[in-house]
A and B are shown apart, each in its own frame.
Chain A
Amino acid sequence: MLQVRPYARGVSRLLGVAAVLASASLLLATSAPAHFDTAGRFTHVACPGSPATRSDPVNVVFHHWGTWGRAESQLVAHTGWAAASGTTQHFLDHGGCFPQHTQRASGEGSRFHVRIRGQHWDGGLGWAAAAAAHHEDLVLFPFPCGHAVDANGAEGSGFDQGRDELEARFRDAGHETSRVWWGNTQSIRQCDGDYAASDGWTLLVRLHQVNH
């Protein structure tokens, strides 16, 4: 018959408590970030991301079946934006900073352009991807500077135009869309010297499980 000595029982208890604590910490570590992180509402030109590296406002969220691959596939299906050129920007998620997964554009000159990154699964939104959409001009005069997001104007800024275009395309294709106030209206200076800003409204687009 196995006899357990007093000190051995104590060790067992300690091991048991340690195991419970380890399990609890594992559960906490995996469940705490189970939401779509809206702390970083801008893309960043480099990592680690900080307010000094902000570039474009995040103004579209693909949700429910919003993995980045589905977002890209369904976006190309509904917009025809097949070009994939553009610089890499970065997205924040639960304290980390990560490069975009993909980007799509309507051409190479003046164009619509959107950068996409799959983000953390969310209890309310399901699989979700954050996106930064805009319309940009190819600026060659008075000095060639490349792509610059349209300044604020009668049709909204280039950021608003990009979001509005995606809203119309996805809504016309039967996707459920809505808007949520994010307030990320900070002015972003462009290479032509103008400033552009989001109007603060972010578009939510519900995606299908099955791609087109």
Chain B
Amino acid sequence: MRVVGLLGLVASVAVLVVGSPTGPGGDRSLEEARSFEEFPLYFAGDEVDGLSLAAVLRRDEGADYVSFVYGECSPTSDSGCAPPAEVQVWPADMRYAGSYDASAGAPSVELTRIRGRPAAFVGDGMQLELYTEESTIVVFADTRQRLLTIATALRCLGRDHDGPREERLGCRR
């Protein structure tokens, strides 16, 4: 009986430490992200390309974005790991195509258009940035196909309801 009680206690502590099994982890809930008003947010839904929304993160020191992490990875001591996909949304005046210059040591940028918006593949091409009037959407993924799948799935994260997926990206606060 004592053993069962101890196991229950350990399980409870583990849930508290690791996070609730019923929602995404991170330092923000999806509901908190829905009420975010500083700049329009986009995400790829609760699940995209077989990956569940694993965490919602807010960073406002040094950088300014809301992040939606999709899928899990397995870090080890001394070596972190990159989740299979992530959508970061930045204010457009903080991050834009012109942020990348052509000076020595700057990464290469391949300009394109996606869903009616200027866009760019950066570096090795596994980072896609889409530029809207008020927000810049940065997508990281482990394959080019997954990048494009996520770009296709992007929609507005709204206060009352998530917006329908529209061909031309454009959300309002």
Contact = CB atoms under 8 A, between A and B. Distances in A.
Interface of A: 36, 38-42, 45, 50-56, 61, 63, 86-87, 89, 92, 122-125, 128, 136, 142-143, 145-149, 152-157, 160, 180-191, 193, 195-197, 199-200, 202, 204
Contact of A89 (B61, B63, B69, B79): B79
Q: Which of B13, B108, B126 gathers most chain A CB within 10 Å?
A: B126
A195 B71 CA distance: 13
Contacts of A189: 73, 75, 80-83
A191 B122 contact: no
A50 B142 contact: yes
A34 B25 CA distance: 44
A10 to B, nearest CB: 45
A183 B122 contact: yes
Interface in B39-88: 55, 57, 59, 61-63, 65, 67, 69, 73, 75-84, 86, 88
Interface residues of B, number: 49
B123 interface: yes
Given A183-B107, A186-B86, A187-B67, A55 B79 contact: yes
Contacts of B122: 183
Contacts of A146: 76-78
A156 B143 CA distance: 29
B151 interface: no
B95 interface: yes
